[in-house]
Amino acid sequence: VGGTSPEQWEDNVPTNEELLSALREQPEWITAFLKDKLDDKMSEPLVIGDNIMTIDDIEGIIQFIAWHEGVHAGVIDALSKLS
């Protein structure tokens, strides 16, 4: 499995408080960033699977992300019940 880990960081490691502060600021930043952009078309549509679904605007991407994160939460919940 790829990805990064704080154990691999060598310098400029943010403190827990810096991470929490950044997370607290995200909703306001995201809301301001997306203001009046929900209907904007993407330069290239996102095609899911073998053309099962095509998403071509910002609102569609946000809806897909919310659904997709729910799938992750469901899998994590199911796996936690198995162990």
pLDDT digits (tens, 9 = 90+) for 16-38: 999 999 999 999 999 999 999 99
Residue 52 has what pLDDT? 92
Q: Whole-model pTM?
A: 0.64
Mean pLDDT taken over the chain: 91
Residue 1 has pLDDT above 60, yes or no: no
**Burial label, 62 (beta-carbon count in 10 A; 0-12, 13-18, 19+):** middle
Give me the percent of the chain exceeding a pLDDT of 90: 80
**Range list of H helices, 1-83:** 16-34, 58-82
Contact predicate 27/34, CB 8 Å? no
